[in-house]
Chains A and B, each alone.
Chain A
Amino acid sequence: MRANKAGTNWFDAITNPAPLNRHMLSFSGGNDRSTYYLSLGMQDQNGIILNQNFTRYSLRLNSEHDVTKKFRIGENIQATYLSVTGLIGGAGGRGAAAEENDFLSAFRMPAIIPVYNEFGGYAGTQAKGFNNPRNPVAARERSKDNYGFGFGIFGNVYAELDLLENLKVRSSFGGSLGLNYSNYYNRTSYENSENNSTFSYGENSGYNRNWIFTNTAEYKKQFGVHDITLLGGIESLNVGYFRQMSGNGQEPFSRDIDYITLTNTTNRVVNSDFRRGVNFFSVFGQARYTYNDKYMLNALVRRDGSSRFGANNRYGIFPAVSAAWRISDEGFMSGVSFVSDLKIRGGWGQMGNSNNVDPYNQYSLFASNLSQSYYDIAGANGTPAEGFYRSRIGNPNAKWETAETSNIGFDGSFFDGKLDLIFDLWRKDTKDLLYELETPAVVGAQAADPALNIASIRNQGIDLEIVTRGNASPTLRYEVKVTGSFLQNEITSIAPDVPYFDSPITFRGINPIRNQVGYAISSFYGYQVAGLFQNQADIDNAATQDGVTKTEAATADSPAGGIGRFKYADINGDGAITPDDRTYLGDPVPDFNGGINIKLNYKNFELETFFQTFLGVDIFNQSRWFTDFYPSFTGAAYGRRVQESFTFENGGNTTPIFENVSNFSTNTQSNSYYVESGNYGRLANLQLAYNLPEGILSRYGMDKVRVYLQATNLFTITSYEGLDPGVAGDADTRLGIDVGNPPVTRGYNIGLNIGF
């Protein structure tokens, strides 16, 4: 393999500009008894990374027909074909940030390695001292034949009858059916330091369905200034039914994809699974009373039942009330002319949640599983014997988790609608939070832990929206909308005697997440770096710390040293760095997010921009482990920060010394070196549109023709050093961890809307 002296830009090598193609055609029409709406859509979008594609075709049909003046029937149906290939990240891509993926490989790959060797094959890290990322171009290209699609149809049919003058009953039945299929080729590699030596092929397919049946009756009546609405209903539904099968096998005789089927592979493994889903049954009622459009009262109560809970706690009753007062209609406000409309409102309510409970939470179960419980008891090196293990500890006493919300706020409109203000102060206390507290290992760690109603979380915040609009000149209209939300998240209790729990998730041995009462969920936890050891005296004077050696502790075989490594803060001041010195390093929940949306209309032109910002948020930039520390895998560390490493000549107090040592004082601990501010602002949208004048349109029998140019994610302002500060996560328990967060992409769109 010849070195690429010009340097390989691996990020360029795995990415390319990605065209997006989106078309939609819709029709609507009808007569005085019937209406319909039909639309057809297609979207074909490549990802910026090689061999990633998103294709969707959809059909939507809605219609309603008045059978009589008092009886209507209708339906909504949507059918979709969706194919997503080459997706990065689990959970539909949301898990990408916390995974070691091809983006991470791209910036771990040494630039001196070319993409291809001189014989046309792939080049990679097989030569020693080049770390162990896999050639990401090869990885992408080897997966180019992987394919998958889902076909789904969902919709509902309904009938509505005006039973009495003020009483309307409605019955609706809805459901969905989804089919899916996918296959993959896991090809062998040769160019990497750690290779895949077995060719394997797999296929998956299955279907899922759900249904919902809702019946409601609504009574509406006005007596003079009194306005009353009463609503009652019952609803039953099933969600989450599926059947799924998958198979894989190895080493087909030929690797030609025209030849490969599961039948033609060896060592085949077949798996299948099914679930009956979860059933819900709810009864609900609502009453609304309005006096003269000035005083408004609303009360709601519902009783929800879920099969996720055992027979004793199946049902929960959840009331809610709210009230509003249009103060601007009061006589004493009549003199205040700049107030066009002002409404003060407040509310309190409870909502049940059962979504974070496994459907089998109530059952104690056993399972057989090749990986968990099979054993070759015969000692014949053949297929192992089937065994069983406890797969779930049941909790039949779990009950609904309750979110209690209270809010107070106002909606105001001033100066004849030139200025709107919306303000909300809110709090949401989640009680009896269903949490799967880890069972102590002495009881057996493998059985799934049941959700228990033990924790509680408080979210509270302020939401603010300011809109100002008007005409700067007769032909120039403007609207500026500023939104801002302050959010505070805090764990208020976990379980009796359990002050905190560490996330079981580790990243290359680093465990950065702790959940503790009094802190935000998924907070970052570890050692606080107080700088780098500048010299031996610095080490000798500091607290005792593993990974560096004081002069007084030095022996012939282990000399004093450790200059240039992390110096951790001795939080408890006991003169030694121990796990007790770990502390909170930041949290991934933004304190503030806001946006500015500006719309300008000049004659037939429209200009619209949207700028958004997230502040008070931290990111645990785990990718630094790969890019900043030479021994992470010998030859790792190709980041820019490495150039600022401590050296004996130049000193340095941020990036540790570049050396082949991996210990407590270098790269093995969660510490504040990895934590960065995730604050950013981004111009998310900039769009210029032109509407053809009506005069021209009418000549061609058209209602509307709109042409637009759009740019998305034009720029981002941030100090974050990773690829992109928009680091999400696929679960509340691992937010803001950046291992290989795919960047948002800048997009340019041209669009045309035509209406007849």
Chain B
Amino acid sequence: MKNLTNILKKAVPLTLVVSITVGVIACKDEFLDVPATGQLTESQIITLPGVEGQLIGTYAVLDGISEDWHGGAVNWLWGSMRGGDANKGTNAGDFSTMNPIERFEVDPTNGEVNQKWSDTYEGVARANQVLFTLSQLEDIPDETKNRIAAEARFLRGHFYFELRKNFKMVPWVDETSNLPATEVDKETTAKGDIKNDTDVWPKIEEDFKYAFDNLPETQSAAGRANKWAAGAYLGKAYLYQGKFVEAKTMFDDVIANGVTANGQKYGLFPDFGALFMVANDNSMESVFAFQATGGAQNVSNSLHELAMAMPYNTAAGQAAPSDCCGFFQPSFDMAASYRTTAQGLPLLDGSYRTGANELKTDQGVLSNAAFQPDQGPLDPRLDRTIGRRGLPFLDWDVHPGYSWVRDQNYAGPYTPMKFSIRKSEYGTRDASGWTPGYAANNYMIIRFADVLLMAAETEVEIGSLEKAREYVNLVRARAAAPETFVIARDPADQSKDFKDADGNFVPAANYVIGTYTMPWTDQATARDAVRFERKLELALEGHRFFDLVRWGIDKDVIPSYLAYETSKISSHFSGASYDASKDQYLPIPQRQIDLQGSDVLVQNP
């Protein structure tokens, strides 16, 4: 024991030495330098692959941030719902922050409004970060540098376009103004002088012009913006400002020379019914699209903004794509608009809402009660856009009406169809989500039919009415192709298409559609025809409200829409009214005004 004590006595100074040494090491500052893990520092990102990755990250915000429902380009809430294509759907309490938006009672504290603002500015910030990083990079080929800059500016143009059409006066932030560089000092920068006192249209034009001048015609990947996408978007920006001359020049160029990023000459995809299928993503009609995929095992890469816009209460995957949640139900007005005359032309005078013209609906009819669908003449696009009782819902079951609708009394009898998942493509969706509706099909932000109809508008205003008619007829002719007609199911076997005794397929409804054969001579009539065609062709694609506002007819059309819908589903819209002076644009989120100061961000009236 004595020995042990001696050893320990000797060991004691050693212990002290060790502890003092460690103490000294600990004094060194390196001990308190702990680098970040699992993330990249600025020095790692300021490289060519780094900036290419940031560009991908900018595209990734086209559908908003992560899984946000209403922050992206689909605009079903902001464009289609407010424009009268559809109502919120589902039931009164579900996602009730949307209710004041469709009733035009939204206040600046509404969270959905802040989401649209924040998600869109995230896109702006990422585009700015690409441009900022690019400015730090040396020794990369001009061609590459210009292409990256042009893509970033195209995307920034897109995000600002979204902001301009939703919020009107918005602060212009670019790569030079207020990026937090390596340091942040919120008191001086973030809250700084980014006022919303200047119209951003000229800046949006500049971005698209730069993109048009610098982007290649074809790209390495189908999802990238190319020269012609920029041209179409620039034309659209002119059109929104009423600059018809510039718009026409642009559209003429795009129509004559435009190709998709993967090199196909722009054209109308022959089959309207199949245009929105996964298999036909990036067709000749796709000018610029959000590229959805089901292959990520992460629903934010799918068409998640519409994941809840599916039939309700079904055998998901067997009878219908999803059993949830019944949002985005097409309106009575929208469905009724597809009534045609015996010549197959739309009823431009609004008479589609009255008397025998009015589309027969199964409102108030239970699924186990008999119902015969409308027998009158209809535009076949109706049944490629809107699911209704008695007709096959894509390649799923025949729509049973009431039982697939969450609360018919609240939101009417219709189900959105345009972007719904097909049975044949069920496996392409992203199955990792809580509901099956996360589809893989793209959302086309601009498609060629849209370009043709915008061009038709410019022709009506400053060009040739006959040229406008030609464009509209191109769109109508495609819709009139037999592929558009939904085929009835065989009464003997609901899983099969119905053939008559001669072996011909039997259409599911009385489809009558024709082109405008008489020359257009009256500008006002031509204008009505072009606008109505836009409504029919682009229904549920997020454009309608913005179109109404830029045409200046929102103050008449929307109150009339609200009155018509109130007569059908009174609890939904009763008491709602539209005041163009305050409802044309969304309020600037109160939260952002609080953060930036009311002297910097001035509220819309």
Give chain B interface residues in 11-28, CB to chain A under 8 Å. 12, 15-16, 19-20, 22-23, 26-27
Q: Can you list 15 residue pairs at the A/B interface with Cβ under 8 Å?
A: A234-B26, A269-B298, A269-B432, A279-B34, A363-B36, A372-B60, A374-B301, A387-B55, A387-B58, A388-B54, A389-B54, A443-B180, A558-B573, A631-B92, A634-B406
Q: Tell me, yes or no, whether A139 is within 8 Å of chain B by CB.
A: no
Q: A388 touching B298 by the CB < 8 A rule?
A: no
Which residues in A have their C-beta under 8 angstroms from that of B312? 193
Nearest A residue (CB) for B590: A579
Give chain B interface residues in 363-405, CB to chain A under 8 Å. 403
Which residues in A have their C-beta under 8 angstroms from that of B403? 128
Q: A383-B295, A395-B184 are in contact. List 15 more A-B contacts (CB 8 A).
A: A171-B16, A274-B37, A314-B32, A363-B39, A370-B296, A370-B301, A372-B300, A381-B428, A389-B60, A444-B124, A508-B96, A547-B105, A547-B575, A630-B93, A634-B407
The interface stretch among A113-121, A402-410, A475-483, A494-502 is A494-502
Instruction: Out of B39, B96, B591, name the residue touching A502 (CB < 8 Å).
Output: B591
Nearest B residue (CB) for A553: B577
- A71 CA to B93 CA in the complex, in Å? 73
Q: A557 touching B224 by the CB < 8 A rule?
A: no
Give chain A interface residues in 529-582, CB to chain B under 8 Å. 546-549, 555-559, 561-562, 578-579
Q: B109 touching A668 by the CB < 8 A rule?
A: no
The interface stretch among A195-203, A256-264, A692-700 is A195-203
Q: B594 touching A441 by the CB < 8 A rule?
A: no
Q: How large is the interface on A (under 10, 10 to 19, 20 to 34, 35 or more residues)?
A: 35 or more
Q: A662 touching B96 by the CB < 8 A rule?
A: yes
Q: B66 touching A171 by the CB < 8 A rule?
A: no
Nearest B residue (CB) for A389: B57
Instruction: Indicate whether A377 sits within 8 Å of B190 (C-beta atoms), given known contacts A269-B298, A279-B32.
Output: no
- A508 CA to B112 CA in the complex, in Å? 12
CB distance from A439 to the nearest CB of B (A): 6
- A599 CA to B293 CA in the complex, in Å? 68
- A738 CA to B327 CA in the complex, in Å? 28
Q: Tell me, yes or no, whether B340 is within 8 Å of chain A by CB.
A: no
Which residues in A have their C-beta under 8 angstroms from that of B37? 274-276
Give chain B interface residues in 566-593, CB to chain A under 8 Å. 566-567, 571, 573-577, 589-592
Q: Tell me, yes or no, whether B122 is within 8 Å of chain A by CB.
A: yes
Q: B594 touching A500 by the CB < 8 A rule?
A: yes
Instruction: Indicate whether A384 sits within 8 Å of B171 (C-beta atoms), given known contacts A374-B301, A397-B183, A578-B107.
Output: no
The interface stretch among B346-354, B433-441, B477-485, B486-494 is B433-441
Q: Tell me, yes or no, whether A319 is within 8 Å of chain B by CB.
A: no
- A379 CA to B463 CA in the complex, in Å? 37
Which residues in B have their C-beta under 8 angstroms from that of A457? none
Instruction: Out of A276, A388, A629, name the residue touching B34 (CB < 8 Å).
Output: A276
Instruction: Out of A197, A279, A501, name the residue touching B31 (CB < 8 Å).
Output: A279
Q: A387 touching B60 by the CB < 8 A rule?
A: yes
Nearest 9 interchain pairs by C-beta: A444-B125, A387-B56, A631-B92, A387-B57, A379-B222, A509-B97, A373-B57, A662-B92, A632-B93
Instruction: Out of A393, A442, A546, A663, name the residue touching B173 (CB < 8 Å).
Output: A442
Nearest A residue (CB) for B323: A195
Which residues in A have their C-beta under 8 angstroms from that of B199? none
Q: Tell me, yes or no, whether A144 is within 8 Å of chain B by CB.
A: no
Q: A377 touching B224 by the CB < 8 A rule?
A: yes
Which of A197, A547, A636 has the most B CB atoms < 10 Å from its CB? Answer: A197
Q: B293 touching A365 by the CB < 8 A rule?
A: no
Q: Tell me, yes or no, whether B562 is within 8 Å of chain A by CB.
A: yes
- A250 CA to B438 CA in the complex, in Å? 15
Nearest A residue (CB) for B262: A379
Instruction: Indicate whether A311 sits within 8 Å of B29 (C-beta atoms), given known contacts A236-B22, A379-B442.
Output: yes
Which residues in B have their C-beta under 8 angstroms from that of A509? 95-97, 111
- A395 CA to B67 CA in the complex, in Å? 28
Q: B293 touching A234 by the CB < 8 A rule?
A: no
Instruction: Out of B27, B301, B563, B591, name the residue touching A376 (CB < 8 Å).
Output: B301
Instruction: Out of A359, A378, A396, name the residue touching B222 (CB < 8 Å).
Output: A378
Contact with A along B296-327 (1 / 0, CB 8 A): 11101100000000001100110000111100
Q: B293 touching A387 by the CB < 8 A rule?
A: no
Q: Tell me, yes or no, whether A267 is within 8 Å of chain B by CB.
A: yes
Which residues in B have their C-beta under 8 angstroms from that of A278? 34
Q: How large is the interface on B (under 10, 10 to 19, 20 to 34, 35 or more residues)?
A: 35 or more
Contact with B along A658-676 (1 / 0, CB 8 A): 0011111001100000000
Which residues in B have their C-beta under 8 angstroms from that of A107? none
Q: B178 touching A194 by the CB < 8 A rule?
A: no
Instruction: Indicate whether A194 sits within 8 Å of B323 (C-beta atoms), given known contacts A385-B56, A391-B39.
Output: yes
Q: Tell me, yes or no, whether B595 is within 8 Å of chain A by CB.
A: yes
Q: Tell me, yes or no, whether B263 is within 8 Å of chain A by CB.
A: no
Instruction: Out of B295, B316, B431, name the residue touching A382 (CB < 8 Å).
Output: B295
Contact with A along B170-206 (1 / 0, CB 8 A): 0101000011111111110011001000000000000
B residues near A (Cβ < 8 Å) are 4-5, 8-9, 12, 15-16, 19-20, 22-23, 26-27, 29, 31-42, 44-45, 50, 53-60, 62, 65-67, 91-97, 99-100, 103, 105, 107-109, 111, 114, 117-119, 121-122, 124-126, 129, 171, 173, 178-187, 190-191, 194, 221-224, 262, 278, 281-282, 289, 291-298, 300-301, 312-313, 316-317, 322-325, 403, 406-407, 409-410, 428, 431-436, 440, 442, 562-563, 566-567, 571, 573-577, 589-592, 594-597
Instruction: Out of A171, A364, A372, A631, name the residue touching B182 (CB < 8 Å).
Output: A364
Q: B34 touching A661 by the CB < 8 A rule?
A: no
CB distance from B109 to the nearest CB of A (A): 5
The interface residues of chain B, by DSSP majority, are classed as loop
Which residues in A have their C-beta under 8 angstroms from that of B96? 508-509, 631-632, 662-663, 667-668
Instruction: Indicate whether A561 sits within 8 Å of B35 (C-beta atoms), given known contacts A444-B122, A444-B126.
Output: no
Q: B432 touching A636 by the CB < 8 A rule?
A: no
Instruction: Out of A269, A376, A506, A632, name the residue touching B293 (CB < 8 Å).
Output: A376
Q: Tell me, yes or no, whether A352 is within 8 Å of chain B by CB.
A: no
Which residues in B have their C-beta under 8 angstroms from that of A268? 297
Q: Tell me, yes or no, whether A715 is within 8 Å of chain B by CB.
A: no
Instruction: Indicate whether A267 sits within 8 Å of B125 (C-beta atoms), given known contacts A397-B183, A442-B178.
Output: no
Nearest A residue (CB) for B26: A236
The interface stretch among A51-59, A292-300, A445-453, A682-690 is A445-453
CB distance from B210 to the nearest CB of A (A): 21
Q: Tell me, yes or no, whether A277 is within 8 Å of chain B by CB.
A: yes
CB distance from B425 to the nearest CB of A (A): 10
Q: Tell me, yes or no, whether A60 is within 8 Å of chain B by CB.
A: no
Q: A234 touching B23 by the CB < 8 A rule?
A: yes
Nearest B residue (CB) for A546: B105
Q: A375 touching B122 by the CB < 8 A rule?
A: no
- A629 CA to B96 CA in the complex, in Å? 12
Which residues in B have their C-beta under 8 angstroms from that of A664? 100, 105
Q: Tell me, yes or no, whether A305 is within 8 Å of chain B by CB.
A: yes
Nearest A residue (CB) for B42: A364
- A373 CA to B435 CA in the complex, in Å? 22
Instruction: Out of A373, A498, A633, name the residue touching B594 (CB < 8 Å).
Output: A498
Q: B33 touching A307 by the CB < 8 A rule?
A: yes
Q: A387 touching B42 by the CB < 8 A rule?
A: no
Which residues in B have their C-beta under 8 angstroms from that of A126? 313
Q: Tell me, yes or no, whether A371 is within 8 Å of chain B by CB.
A: yes
